[in-house]
Amino acid sequence: MNAKKRIKPEDQYQLKSVTDPQLSKNGYDCIYIETTMCEEENTYSSHLFYINTNQPAETQQLTYGKGRNLAPRWSPDGSQIAFVSNRNNEVNQIFMLSMNGGEAKQLTNEPNGATNPIWSPDGKRIAFQSTVEKENLPEKNKDKPEPVEIERMKYKSDAKGLWSGDYQHIGVIDIASGEREWLTTGEQDYYLQCWSPDNQSIALLADLATDKDHSFNNDVYILDVGSKQMENMTKGVASFSHVSWSPDGKCLGLIGSKSTYKNASLSKIWTLDVFSGELTCLTEEWDVQVGDYVVADFHQSANASQILWAEDSSSFYFLASDHGNTVLYFGTVEGAMYPALLEERHHIYGVSTGGTIDKAIVAISTPTNPGDLYLLNVTSGEKTRLTNINQAFFEETAVADAEVLQYQSIDGWELQGWLIKPINHETREKYPLIVEIHGGPHTMYANTYVHEFQVLAAEGYAVLYTNPRGSHGYGQAFVDAVRGDYGGKDYEDIMTAVDYVLEYDEGIDRERLGVTGGSYGGFMTNWIVGHTNRFKAAVTQRSISNWISFYGVSDIGYYFTDWQIKGQLNDIEKLWKHSPLAFVERVDTPLLILHSENDLRCPIEQAEQFYIALKHHNKQAKFIRFPQANHELSRSGHPNLRMKRLHYIKNWFNQYI
């Protein structure tokens, strides 16, 4: 029998991603998205697929051609699908497709595109989100660049670049006439959430504070579609997201946080009585993070954040991040919360119920499977596989599983990590180890597929990845423990993991260790090479090196630095104390620096400073700059750059380890 092939970076061109399942109200029709990378066009292709869950062996592709087709949403009667597509140009618009066949019909033609289609319950209208430019802006001419006038602190974002005088607004289009009407206007941002069951109102999110540069709360508003009058329902109690209306129209389900611990605060489930205005936190005492906070490098367009009401209007489903898993939970308005699907190792990154209480479609990834769809019978717990989209690839390609590790920190915290052993490790006497560090820091590694880890395992490396303090999934105290202590106990947690795994697995060559990470993981990689020489090579990605300059150059710098380091510019000593640049003279580890030119989250000047300082002190360093890429390079950047990034990482480790 022929041996299986080993995974390489370019295999991502062959692998398919399945995301955003949407179950119809009839309980058996399901739409989902398949996404692939296109090597020749150097872009992504996403298409809608249909599956009848009563006949899962049969699937039907609904969209074709180039471009991306995303966010499919069933009409209330199940006869039509609204979706987002850039098929006619580079701007996303809303289209509608009949399940009886025929071509998709374009519904919107907004200059800056349209997204987030939401059907009115009577099926006559679709609300959508669009970017609307401020009135009286000068006409843009790409051949005549104009100065950018800035008067706000929130003037750029890693996702959108420099703010150009536009705002997020909500429109609604009449299906029969094709007429569009704006529900919101003015120099404010409004974010569409859901319709009321009686078709009369829309729930939206907005921050209408006068000083938005120092405001970080989104309130929930109810907008009367006819009069366009809005009422603030939450009045600054907390910052909310992901609003969903109960089927009986009496209640809103919300995800929100009082931000007691700034961006390290756990998200909670709330309900809002629409008529009395009573706001209730259902999970106040629950020490679990609501939502999917897993970090990986494979899926795009995953969408599973809001609570999903059942038809009884008193129960619902939601996801929570818990000890390296995302778990599907069942909840009630009385405050009962218990798992609806709890398995030993899985990452649920998509869920849809169609409004029922007895079944759900779940998208699940594991360390050895990028992801597939399953039909869950909630009552019996029985799970039926609906897709196996990468079966052919994995029948001929080897993949390495991950072992879960449990160990203790120096000061007694329970810690979790994973070890992937290299492919065919039993044939080697000793094998090197790469330590991977996630970003955030308030995300978590999990029981999910990460292509980068598989590439390294195929190259003959063991891969250790862990959740040090600051990670989600282990309670409020744990996720908050990193704030004000970057490079302290979090660094010790990672070194403890290394010590533990060297004792746990005698096959690891303790003299051949490497380390890498991105964003916060890049900060920690920079910190590690300035505080220990035990690693033979390191790769720092989209990193932070200097908290003093980060304060003013990052799109989030002025508040993130305060929240995370607990230091302002009047405390230069503290900011410098936590800056890896301060320890550059100690670095003896060969360091590869990977950074995107358009990264506004951790701007490239952070890499430039570290690189120049290293070279000035005659250290072994190499700097790779990725054009036309931002902070999301490893997850959604140009496919060719994603491939080159993986090659740079493995080649650097191959050279020095």
Q: Which residues carry out catalysis?
A: 519, 631
Burial of 363 (0-12, 13-18, 19+ CB in 10 A): buried
Sequence-ordered list of residues with C-beta below 8 angstroms from that of 459, at least 6 positions apart, any chain: 422, 650, 653, 654
Specify the 3-state DSSP secondary structure of 601: coil
Q: Which helix (H) or strand (E) holds 577?
A: helix 572-577
Q: How many CA atoms lie less than 13 Å away from 380 in the CB half-sphere?
A: 6
Cα–Cα distance measured from residue 208 to residue 186, given in angstroms and rounded to the nearest whole number: 11
CB 632 within 8 A of CB 643: no
Q: What is the DSSP letter of 68?
A: B
Burial of 634 (0-12, 13-18, 19+ CB in 10 A): buried
Residue identified by tokens 């995370």 is 564
CB 120 within 8 A of CB 171: no
CB 196 within 8 A of CB 203: yes
CB 527 within 8 A of CB 485: no
Dihedral sign, Cα of residue 175, residue 176, residue 177, residue 182: negative
Cα–Cα distance measured from residue 81 to residue 1, given in angstroms and rounded to the nearest whole number: 46
Cα–Cα distance measured from residue 538 to residue 105, given in angstroms and rounded to the nearest whole number: 51
Comparing CA positions, the residue from 393, 389, 459 lying closest to residue 420 is 459
End-to-end C-alpha distance for the chain, whole angstroms: 32
Reading the block at residue 494, the tokens are 């990672």
Cα–Cα distance measured from residue 459 to residue 305, given in angstroms and rounded to the nearest whole number: 36
CB 268 within 8 A of CB 289: no
Cα–Cα distance measured from residue 276 to residue 254, given in angstroms and rounded to the nearest whole number: 16
Pairing of strands 414-420, 402-408: antiparallel
Q: In angstroms, what CA-CA distances link 480 with 260, 264, 285, 477, 535? A: 10, 5, 16, 5, 28
Backbone angles phi, psi at 282, to 5 degrees: -80, -20
CB 330 within 8 A of CB 475: no
Q: How many CB atoms lie within 10 A of CB 630?
A: 20
Backbone angles phi, psi at 140, to 5 degrees: -75, 140
User: What is the chain's alpha carbon radius of gyration, rounded to the nearest angstrom?
Assistant: 25
Strand stretches in 355-401, DSSP E = 359-366, 369-377, 383-385, 397-398
Cα–Cα distance measured from residue 263 to residue 111, given in angstroms and rounded to the nearest whole number: 34
CB 280 within 8 A of CB 271: yes
CB 593 within 8 A of CB 623: yes
CB 134 within 8 A of CB 166: yes
